[in-house]
Amino acid sequence: MTASLATFAVHRADSGGELMMEGALLNDIAECYGTPCFVYSKAALTTAFQRLDGAVKSARNGRPYLICYAVKANSNLAVLRLFASLGAGFDIVSGGELMRVLEAGGEPKKVVFSGLGKTAAEMKLALEANIKCFNIESEPELERLNDVAARLGIEARISLRVNPDVDAKTHPYISTGLKNNKFGIAFDRAMDVYRRAAALSHIDVVGVDCHIGSQITDDAPLQEAMGRIVALADALANEGITLHHVCPGGGIGITYKDEDTIDLNRYALALEASMGARDVELLLEPGRVLVGNAGVLLSRVEFVKLTESKNFLVIDAAMNDLIRPSLYQAHHGVVMAGSSRGAAVERVYDVVGPVCESADVLAHARALRAREGDVVAILSAGAYSFAMSSNYNSRPRAAEVLVDGDGGALIRERETFDDMVRLERLQTV
């Protein structure tokens, strides 16, 4: 790992000393709340939002914009509450996410609803909450939304999520803007679908949206996609369909290892240049960049297992807690929470969980000075980590803690066995 620890919202108390987040010792957090445990830094979350917000604000220079945090990346209520207090809007993909945003005090008029399979019930919920906009991904979805809005006697504001057919050059599982992806409306169909939308009785066409993928570290494809949707907005204006916002989606990548990623100021200025003098609002849907490097997963070493061919560090976190390495071959840094003074001998380990799957490897070939009972911090675990966790192998989901200054607050209790079986005990068969 070559990026500095500060990139991952942690630092050493002194050279070779204990690992800290803000003013809190991570070993103390592990002791207090148990492991596995996700820990987020309030300061790092705030800074991540303010950096992006600052870049866009200065590029826009007084023109309107809205940063809609993609809730799916980390949907803890405390995280949503923090972003709402910083002025964020929200990008949701389900009725559940909408209810989380409302519970956290997010403003419905700053909510955009993405996702390609919205049910009539979800549409009704969002229409009744009076959200800012629905991102529509297909013609049947458009017709359904018109019907649901008609039944409620209101108009639904929509943008089309178009598929600009741009290669985001990221992992195929998180690449979404190519023709053969299930997402969005094909670019060459978009004009027709807009005409249809404009003709529907209970649809109000307000924007254009796209999202080409995630963990994008070079902004060229994002700019290419932006160029295409701005051109589409111009073509629509020529037909008398005036849009109020354009949105190039999320996708800004972060450093997991040593990747150089998108310069936010440069990206914001490039978006601004694409928009030119057009009088429209700029929306963004960032997830990972706001939370990814603001969190770590703390886990305790259960066993040091040395075999002839490999050394394994068996820890108490597993693929059910953090599935990204198993699902996307993703890299997460691993560092010891304790001081290196008097620490164990260094060995190269595969860091593995107890789940009965060969894919349950959280990190490959890491040089660590670890012994049984030590705590490790798995870095960059703020995005798509707890949010993608499960109860596989009947493992309760981990606790979540928010560090603010030198203290931590429990923001989600560790699940208990009762939590896991509660809904099954209601069965009468």
If binding is defined by CB under 6 A, does position 49 make contact with ligand LLP? no
Q: Measured between alpha carbons, how far is 204 from 201 in angstroms, rounded to an integer?
A: 8
Exactly one of 114, 146, 223, 380 binds ligand LLP (CB under 6 A); which one? 114
Q: Residue 363's closest CA among 337, 320, 332, 384? A: 332
**CB-based burial label for 427 (10 Å; 0-12, 13-18, 19+):** exposed
Exactly one of 36, 95, 286, 325 binds ligand LLP (CB under 6 A); which one? 286
Q: Measured between alpha carbons, how far is 76 from 40 in angstroms, rounded to an integer?
A: 11
* Minimum CB distance to ligand LLP, residue 202 (Å): 24
Exactly one of 324, 332, 366, 397 binds ligand LLP (CB under 6 A); which one? 324
Output 18 or 91, the one with its CB closest to ligand LLP: 91
Q: Measured between alpha carbons, how far is 134 from 282 in angstroms, rounded to an integer?
A: 16
Output 12 or 331, the one with its CB closest to ligand LLP: 331
In this chain, which stretch among 199-207, 250-258, 259-267, 400-408 interacts with ligand LLP, using CB under 6 A? Answer: 250-258
In this chain, which stretch among 142-150, 248-256, 342-350, 407-415 interacts with ligand LLP, using CB under 6 A? Answer: 248-256
Is residue 285 within 8 Å of 256, Cβ to Cβ?
Answer: no
If binding is defined by CB under 6 A, does position 223 make contact with ligand LLP? no
If binding is defined by CB under 6 A, does position 211 make contact with ligand LLP? yes
* Minimum CB distance to ligand LLP, residue 252 (Å): 6
Is 68 annotated as catalytic?
no
| DSSP states along 163-226 | E------S-GGGB--STTSSSSEEGGGHHHHHHHHHHSTTEEEEEEE---BSSB--SHHHHHHH
Coil, helix or strand for 45? helix
If binding is defined by CB under 6 A, does position 251 make contact with ligand LLP? yes
Coil, helix or strand for 205? strand
* Minimum CB distance to ligand LLP, residue 387 (Å): 8
Residues 6+ apart with CB under 8 A from 150: 201, 202
- Strand 375-378 versus strand 334-336 pairing type: antiparallel
Q: Residue 416's closest CA among 391, 386, 392, 382? A: 391
* Minimum CB distance to ligand LLP, residue 283 (Å): 10
Token digits for 380? 């960059």
Q: Measured between alpha carbons, how far is 183 from 380 in angstroms, rounded to an integer?
A: 27
If binding is defined by CB under 6 A, does position 248 make contact with ligand LLP? no
Q: Measured between alpha carbons, how far is 169 from 175 in angstroms, rounded to an integer?
A: 7
Angle at 364 (CA atoms; ends 358, 369), nearest 5 degrees? 120
In this chain, which stretch among 34-42, 225-233, 282-290, 420-428 interacts with ligand LLP, using CB under 6 A? Answer: 282-290
Binding mask 325-364 for ligand LLP (x = CB under 6 A): ---x------------------------------------
Output 27 or 163, the one with its CB closest to ligand LLP: 163
Q: With CB under 6 A, what is the number of residues at the site for ligand LLP?
A: 20
Give me the torsion for CA of 370, 372, 374, 379, rounded to 10°: 60
If binding is defined by CB under 6 A, does position 170 make contact with ligand LLP? no
Exactly one of 384, 395, 402, 403 binds ligand LLP (CB under 6 A); which one? 384
Q: Measured between alpha carbons, how far is 182 from 185 in angstroms, rounded to an integer?
A: 9
If binding is defined by CB under 6 A, does position 184 make contact with ligand LLP? no
Token digits for 173? 């599982």
Exactly one of 75, 215, 274, 299 binds ligand LLP (CB under 6 A); which one? 215
In this chain, which stretch among 120-128, 189-197, 283-291, 336-344 interacts with ligand LLP, using CB under 6 A? Answer: 283-291
Output 162 or 337, the one with its CB closest to ligand LLP: 162
Exactly one of 248, 249, 333, 382 binds ligand LLP (CB under 6 A); which one? 249
Output 27 or 215, the one with its CB closest to ligand LLP: 215
Q: Measured between alpha carbons, how far is 285 from 23 in angstroms, rounded to an integer?
A: 31
If binding is defined by CB under 6 A, does position 207 make contact with ligand LLP? no
DSSP conformation class of 108: G
Tell me the C-alpha to C-alpha distance, in Å, between residue 230 and each of 184, 196, 234, 242, 244: 16, 20, 6, 12, 12
* Minimum CB distance to ligand LLP, residue 27 (Å): 27
Coil, helix or strand for 70? strand
Catalytic residues: 356
Can you give the binding site for ligand LLP, defined by CB under 6 A?
70, 73, 91, 114, 174, 211, 214-215, 249-252, 285-289, 324, 328, 384
